[in-house]
Amino acid sequence: MIVRSLESLPTLDRSGRHVVIVGAGTIGLFLAKLLVEKGRRVTIVESGDASLGSFSSEGFRNVGKPHQGTRIGRSRSIGGTSNLWGGQLVEFMPADFRGRPWLPTSAWPIGADEMKPFCQRAFQRLGIEPAAQDDEPVWQGRLGSSPRFADDVEIFLTRWMKTPSMAVLYADDIHSDPRLVLLTGHTTVGFQAAGSRVTGVVIKTPDGGTAHLEADEVVIAAGTVETVRLLLAAQADRSSPCPWQANRMLGLRFQDHLGGRIGTVMPLDKQRLFRVFSTLYWNGHKFQPKLRVKEAACLSDRLLGSQGIMCFESSATEHLVFLKQFLKAAIHSRRLSGIGDFFRHAMACARHLPPLMWTYVKEHRMFVPFDSQVVLNVQAEQMPTDRSRITIDPSRRDAYGLPQAIIDWQVTGEELPTILDLAQRCGRALEAAGLATLTIEPDLLALKPSFLDALHDTYHAAGGAIMGVNDAHGVVDRDLRVFGTTNLYLASAATFPTSSSANVTFTALAFATRLADHLQ
């Protein structure tokens, strides 16, 4: 249930252990749902409310390579960033956990085999049943067989949630489950501790006052930047004890994926190209095809992770995107505006609506206008570096009294050979399959460092409080417990030592599934 004042908090039943979760975003709500099903009593402290809210510019600044996701890729609200994303779910590859011999400190303290059951359970919790977790039945159902490519390139499918907003997905629990209490409009600004035990959180009330909320366990699920900022603020506060005060790894290895155009695709067989790479639907689920270099080739050729994404751009794209977003808002009963814009966009792409509906109903695919220009975009793993980091400026504080987070996103440029290798392999594979030729961006082909300026972040912030075998190598252990404490945990991509090439949210949800078992 939602409460908006401390006085409205129910009296705790001390027969069950009380978990306080900081943040009612994607991971926070997902974890809370798992815990209450296991009999735990959960209080979520959320700074925002039901309205879509952004983070104040006073709370952060960028000083390195521009990082758009810090400014426009986050939301302070019930559901957090899940109110903004499309709900795409992508698994990490086994080598991402196992580590690569040529990449120091890339091994995680937990393996892919151990995480696999939690990935499967997370998929099911998000509405992706076992049959839809395997690519082959989907390709069989849509094309008769999965497409095959040469030159160590493989096609794979990403999965998309039917209801991407956690606020919508868990609306009934949020409003009616007495075991789950959501305290909105209150901001966590610190911790209470007794030795190695965190006994509760310090929160700012809407009137500017300070209060304390006791807990048996505390989980920070506030997103990468806010999770690290909160830990750094406590570390810098010399007036109160902080069990992780001596940890020098905090803030290091901030990461994101590099995204952008790497080539222009000239179709040799446009109909077949569109059929293979357009978004498809099967048994009520949505899938997007992507390309990547096979794991064995990545390991043997010392490559970072990367994905090739086929993008179709046409004069109708903007209008179709608007209509899709408008209809999604209507379906989920959100407040609507811009009815006039709806009809303007509908008229602009009226000639595309019949084939769009036919393609969806008959072929179970997303319609791609035949006049579309095709480009190949990349989503590439960043080389982890200690120079890329989050720090704080105690001389500048936001309205809640928290120090300003300084995001210094640094990219080494060692990613360029991997990105060029992906482009070259994809070009050869597409041409060998008779689908298309690829003209690679000239600056990438020449491996010019300036090509990095054309690449941007993809709102997949990770690192800053990474997993390690001890506090000399990380901030949390394999169970996501902060070193130096007995009961403080991080449920966030901030704990990832490396970022893979896959979207980070799904793996964070798999770790939240494992954390729920651990806390039980």
d(CA 346, CA 342): 6
d(CA 242, CA 363): 58
Taken in order of first residue, the domains within the chain and their CATH numbers are 2-60+68-314+368-519 (3.50.50.60)
d(CA 242, CA 96): 32
Give, in order, the Cα–Cα distances in Å from 24 to each of 311, 403, 438: 33, 21, 44
19-49 pLDDT, tens digit each: 999 999 999 999 999 999 999 999 999 999 9
Tracing tokens 């990832």 back to the chain, one arrives at: 496
**What pLDDT score was predicted for residue 354?**
52
**What pLDDT score was predicted for residue 409?**
98
**What pLDDT score was predicted for residue 98?**
94
* Token pair of 121 as six digits: 């359970």
β-pair partners for 263: 376, 440
Predicted confidence pLDDT, tens digits, the chain (520 residues): 899 888 888 875 555 689 999 999 999 999 999 999 999 999 999 999 988 888 889 999 999 999 999 999 899 999 999 999 999 999 999 999 999 999 988 999 999 999 999 999 999 999 999 999 999 999 999 888 899 998 899 999 999 999 999 999 999 999 999 999 999 999 999 999 999 999 999 999 999 999 999 999 999 999 999 999 999 999 999 887 899 999 999 999 999 999 999 999 999 999 999 999 999 999 999 999 999 999 999 999 999 999 999 999 765 444 444 445 445 544 444 444 455 554 554 555 555 445 444 344 444 445 455 567 999 999 999 999 999 999 999 999 999 999 999 999 999 999 999 999 999 999 999 999 999 999 999 999 999 999 999 999 999 999 999 999 999 999 999 999 999 999 999 999 999 999 999 999 999 999 999 999 999 8
β-pair partners for 212: 202
HSE-CB at 251 with a 13 A cutoff on CA atoms is 23
168-183 pLDDT, tens digit each: 999 999 999 999 999 9
Task: Tell me how long the chain is.
Answer: 520
Give, in order, the Cα–Cα distances in Å from 274 to each of 130, 139, 491: 27, 15, 39
* Token pair of 309 as six digits: 């994404």
Nearest to 460 by CA among 114, 143, 70, 138: 70
**What pLDDT score was predicted for residue 325?**
47
